[in-house]
Amino acid sequence: MLIAGLSPAFRLAANNTRIRSQLYASRLYIEGSAVRKMSKSTPPKVFITRRVPDRGPALLKSECTVTQWDSDEPISREELLSKVQGVDGLFCLLTEKIDAELLDAAGPNLKVVGTMSVGYDHVDLVACAERGVKVGFTPNVLTSAVAELTVSLLLATSRRLKEGIRAVENGSWGTWKPMWLCGPGLDGSTVGIIGMGRIGMAVARCLQPFGVARFVYSDFDEQPKARDIGAEFLPLDEVIASADFLLACCALTSETKGMFNMDLFKKMKNTAVFINTSRGGVVQQDDLYKALVSGEIAAAGLDVTTPEPLPTNSPLLKLDNCVILPHIASATHKARSAMSELTAKNILAGLKGQTIPSEITA
């Protein structure tokens, strides 16, 4: 484009100058944008507190600077407080206590904590909220795995598999005996569930093909979905008294802490089997031991204890009618990988200021 009113030579020179100026301005704009973009894209820092399935760390590494405690064993508290300094996101497990001390050690950059668990009593939600730190957890993705393990533990306990395996191994297995190692069966039984949430419902559905005659449950409120399997919503005492199998599927809260105590066990049938795959803190373990030894209840199966790991000198481990597993309810490859991935997605969403897929609020 030529500029009118000037000599051709001058007009050409002016036009070239203008073009050069426009090109220079464009270059400055482009370079400035690049600088601004680079500044904005400085990767946030995330610390992972344990060796976890690859899907989560891989997702985080695509957008963040990630450091990790590369061990199957828990990180020490002292080391954890050091490692979290200056991080923007924290990927943790149940073994890490996320409290005011840790949050303050992390500092003001911390925007989100993702726990690779469905339980979150190790996280001080109030302290997080006070500091504007979002918290994510991993419900739903482990429901089927926990339900499978709950049914497995129920069957192992009621059908006395621990005693049977021991008899094979120590040579006490003799001739076939009509009354030997008999236990209660599910066919025609009443199953009581304390906490008819996602896992409680999944357990009930898994148990239906075994011929369970009746499902009863107790919760804070009636759960409409429970009607799909014909489960009856009853007062707690009625559930306890009527159940042949009593399953703890509730969260650990101030209301449920220690609720399975001697008073409760005394209300159960002395032929009943108690199963806990929720949290160890809902059970008074000394009372459970006494109930099992005295015959208040027939047997118990636990996947969770207090503390974890359970000391090898625990009297519960000496009982034939108590089966204890090392907190492996979600231990399938599929579930643990999905938990790792969801934890990473929660963290990334929190770092970007987006809605966290599975957020916990105080």
**Which residues form the catalytic set?**
327
The DSSP output letter for 94 is: T
Do 189 and 213 form a contact (C-beta atoms < 8 A)? Answer: yes
216, 193 Cβ separation under 8 angstroms: yes
**Are residues 243 and 216 in contact, defined by beta-carbon separation less than 8 angstroms?**
yes
What is each CA distance from 163 to 283, 320, 357, in whole angstroms? 24, 6, 44
Q: Tell me the two tokens of residue 342.
A: 């969801």
Q: Which residue has the tokens 């943790």?
A: 92
Helices (H), the chain: 8-40, 55-61, 77-83, 100-106, 125-130, 143-158, 161-170, 198-207, 236-242, 262-267, 285-294, 333-351
Judged by DSSP in three states, 321 sits in: coil
Q: What is the DSSP letter of 75?
A: P
